[in-house]
Structure 1
Amino acid sequence: MTVVRSVLLFVVAALFEIGGAWLIWQGWREHRGLWWIAAGVIALGAYGFVATFQPDQNFGRILAAYGGVFVAGSLAWGVIVDRFRPDRWDIIGAGICLIGVALIMYAPRSAGGS
């Protein structure tokens, strides 16, 4: 159950961070206004809190693993929201990143953590 909870937290974190950055992009680059930017800033702040609920106690490990989630999530966001069409290299790269996430977060470790 811990792995499921961790994966769900990564998904929620990705939605807040990618969504927040997208809102700021829309507010600034697409001239939608300060309310979009403000909503983006709030979402980015929420992302920072979501990571604290990860069951692992190591900030560096969580943030490193989240980097892979961010890569794959950003491509997925582009497909769903912006109608971006990733090529095979995008998909292969995202897959490699997600394998890295699984190794960093869920590989068996000794009691000492190494």
Structure 2
Amino acid sequence: MAIAKTILLFIFAAAAEIGGAWLVWQSVREGRAWWWAGLGVIALGIYGFAATLQPDAHFGRILAAYGGVFVAGSLMWGIAFDGFRPDRWDIAGSAICLLGVAVIMFAPRNAA
């Protein structure tokens, strides 16, 4: 159950952070209305709280592992919303990042 919760929270955090940044980008770089940026700031704030819900109590571990989720999520967001087509190096790098997430979050550890 803890693994499923961790994965779902990472997905939620990625959607909030990447979506929020995308909304700001749309407002500033693509000429959308100012309120798109406002919605983006709200989404980025939601992302900030998402990490606190993780079962692991170590801030550094959570944010380090989340970095890999962010990489993969950003590529997927680009595919879904911007017509981005990753090449094999994007995909390989993303897979390496997700492997790193798994090692950081789910490797067996001795209780200290």
TM-score by length of structure 1 reads 0.97
How many residues in Structure 1 have an aligned counterpart in Structure 2?
Answer: 112
Residue 37 of structure 1 is matched in structure 2 by 37
Q: How does 1:18-37 map to 2 (within 5 A)?
A: 18-37=18-37
Q: Which runs of 5+ in 2 are unaligned?
A: none
Is residue 107 of structure 2 the alignment partner of residue 110 of structure 1? no
Please state how far the C-alpha of 1:34 moved relative to its aligned partner.
Answer: 1.2
Is residue 87 of structure 2 the alignment partner of residue 76 of structure 1? no
Amino acid at match of 1:51: A
TM-score by length of structure 2 reads 0.99
Please state how far the C-alpha of 1:33 moved relative to its aligned partner.
Answer: 1.9
SS of match in other structure, 2:100: helix
What percent of counterpart residues are identical? 67
Q: How does 1:40-55 map to 2 (within 5 A)?
A: 40-55=40-55
CA RMSD of the aligned region, Å? 0.4
Q: Distance in 1 between matches of 2:19 and 2:97?
A: 20
Q: Which runs of 5+ in 1 are unaligned?
A: none
Deviation above 2 Å: which 4+ runs of structure 1? none
Amino acid at match of 1:58: H
Q: Distance in 2 between matches of 1:96 and 1:41?
A: 30
Residue 64 of structure 2 is matched in structure 1 by 64
Q: Distance in 1 between matches of 2:56 and 2:95?
A: 23
Q: Distance in 2 between matches of 1:75 and 1:97?
A: 12
Amino acid at match of 1:85: R
Q: Distance in 1 between matches of 2:28 and 2:80?
A: 21
